[in-house]
Amino acid sequence: MQELKEKHLSALLKPKEAAIHLNVSERWLQRYRAHGIPAVKMGKHTMFLITDLDAYIQRNRIVGVNK
């Protein structure tokens, strides 16, 4: 079961799937690849690792400040 979970976490996503995972448009994803969202080129296809997308979310997380 753990092996299946790890396999899922390292799955490659198509741009449409990656955009859904990030809750953004495909166009936004295409533009922001140049700003730190890693991608994998497989021939003519661009793919995204779920773990890379989640790491991008964590790097750009803004924590609220108590006043």
The CATH number of residue 18's host domain is 1.10.10.10
Each residue's pLDDT tens digit, 1-24: 455 455 555 689 999 999 999 999
The predicted structure's pLDDT at residue 36: 81
What's the pLDDT score for residue 66? Answer: 65
Look at phi and psi of residue 40 and say left if phi exceeds 0, alpha if psi is from -120 to 50, else beta.
beta
Tell me the CA distances in angstroms from 16 to 6, 30, 37, 62, one per residue in order. 22, 10, 14, 25
| Residue 15, domain member (yes or no) | yes
Specify the pLDDT at position 45: 92
In tens, the pLDDT along 12-57 reads 999 999 999 999 999 999 888 887 888 999 899 999 999 999 999 9
Structural domain boundaries, residue 37: 2-59
The reported pLDDT for the residue numbered 1 is 46
Residue 66 lies in a domain: no
